[in-house]
Amino acid sequence: MKIKQALTLEDLKSSIHSFWDYSGAKIESIKNNYNASKGTPVFTVKGEYTTRGWTEWTQGFQFGSAILQFDATGDESFLEYGRKETVDKMASHVSHFGVHDHGFNNVSTYGNLLRLMREGRIPENAWEKDYYELALKISGAVQAKRWTDIPGGGYLYSFNGPHSLFVDTIRTVRALIVSHELGHELMGDNDVQVSLLGRSIQHAISTAKYAIYYGEGRDSYDEWGRTAHESIFNTNDGNFRCPNAQQGFSGFTTWTRGLAWAMVGFPEELEYLQTVSDDLLEPYGGRSELEAIYLKAARATCDFFIDNTAADGIPYWDTGAPQLHKLGNYTERDSDPYNDFEPIDSSAAAIGAQGLLRLGKYLEKTDPEAGKKYFQAGLTSLETLLQEPYLSKDPNHQGLILHSIYHEPNGWDYVPEGSKVANGESSMWGDYHARELVLYAQRLLEDKPYYTFYSCVK
């Protein structure tokens, strides 16, 4: 990436405000035209949202987008839509034992609504508040039940089963933290009480240890900041066996959306640790040790993104994609979503840019030089996403951020006629995280309360 050192939030002010005009139109189009009987919208094909059965992990992004739209613009029609659909459709996601995505579905809906109430943006209603809190309490405990013990700790296992740790889950672990902050615990057999904070910390430690590489010789592909999508364990003895990939090219290459989840997850967790008392952290190694683990993971992944991303801050879908070499020095040029060899994944940029900005803010007092580097890198990606060919201005296209990739190895993404790789389409997670990214930037620009996932509870 060619980081734009002189770029400021003020420079992006006009683009940020116009972004919400396009965003609102896309939400309205999906609301008015999508056939909900098909299931949850996942990604677009020829500009129209469609579904793809695998796991139910995107509906919270659909309704959460409307809630963020209200947050940014004050348009109450989006609030009412997001609130009604959350009440009508999200209960099954709260009690869904089959996925590791509770932080996506439920913090994006119930959590954002509770946050707006705490901020005084919507009237405080006791029963409504209790309803959101109960949903969040249960959601965190349900996700925490997906647990595998390993020597010295454990992890929240993916939908693949108890042997599988996904790097993605570092961002969904926030469901456990919100539930903990609401005073909840997981109750097991014989009334054993399990700390949700403890499980969130142990999962983060396991993710940092097994899913992220630090150039310390773990294998022949060990490079500072590289991530593995999936880490495989022997469930008989809990020992780590190998890296793997579901949506990346291989366990020994870096799927950039997985990288991006870690880029945003660890800085968010660092922010949260600042609010936790020392005595609660002591059983898990103490504040200094935990902050060092989280910060190392955050810096490594953000550095890898910067070093392996196109000049304008948008990555290709996997840094080890088999034909990527045919693009030559692709990091020295702006991204090309219409190339003949490998797809771009704009959703990885939308997710990762927020991580860069958050890490930059986190470091601005203790390491201002590094903080500025990460923050400016985040602004560089953000500026690109706010423009064509990534921002969709076509009123006939339901997607907001173009050139997102879902599952390249499975061939799920639409390849337009005349193209050799998938391009021109959007995803529900990419669009939601672009909105979250822009809202985060807008709140900084307007000096409004700092946006965090735990703002709903403290």
Tens of pLDDT, residues 221-273: 999 999 999 999 999 999 999 999 999 999 999 999 999 999 999 999 999 99
Tens of pLDDT, residues 112-157: 999 999 999 999 999 999 999 999 999 999 999 999 999 999 999 9
Could you tell me if 310 and 330 are in contact, meaning their C-beta atoms sit under 8 angstroms apart? yes
**Residue 243 DSSP SS3:** strand
Tens of pLDDT, residues 398-454: 999 999 999 999 999 999 999 999 999 999 999 999 999 999 999 999 999 999 999
Q: What burial class does residue 117 get, using C-beta atoms within 10 Å of its C-beta: 0-12 exposed, 13-18 middle, 19+ buried?
A: middle
Q: Which pairs count as long-range contacts for 128-135, CB under 8 Å and 24+ apart, including other chains?
A: 131/87, 132/456, 133/182, 135/90, 135/91, 135/94, 135/106, 135/110
What mean pLDDT is reported for the chain?
97
Token pair for 15: 């683009």
Q: What number does CATH give the domain 10-456?
A: 1.50.10.10
Tens of pLDDT, residues 192-222: 999 999 999 999 999 999 999 999 999 999 9
Counting residues of the chain whose pLDDT is more than 90, the rounded percentage is 98
Beta strands in 367-433 (DSSP E): none
| Sign of the torsion formed by the C-alpha atoms of 342, 438, 457 and 293 | positive
Tens of pLDDT, residues 69-116: 999 999 999 999 999 999 999 999 999 999 999 999 999 999 999 999
CA distance 163 to 41: 29
So what's the pLDDT on residue 55?
82
What confidence tier does 1 reach under pLDDT thresholds 50, 70, 90? very high
So what's the pLDDT on residue 196?
98
**Which of 29, 63, 20, 65 has its CA nearest to residue 49?**
29
- Does the structure show a pLDDT above 80 at 53? no
Amino acid letter, residue 71: D
What confidence tier does 335 reach under pLDDT thresholds 50, 70, 90? very high
So what's the pLDDT on residue 54?
80
Q: Compute the average pLDDT of residues 293-308.
A: 98
Per-residue DSSP letters for 427-453? BHHHHHHHHHHHHHHHHHHTTPPPP-G
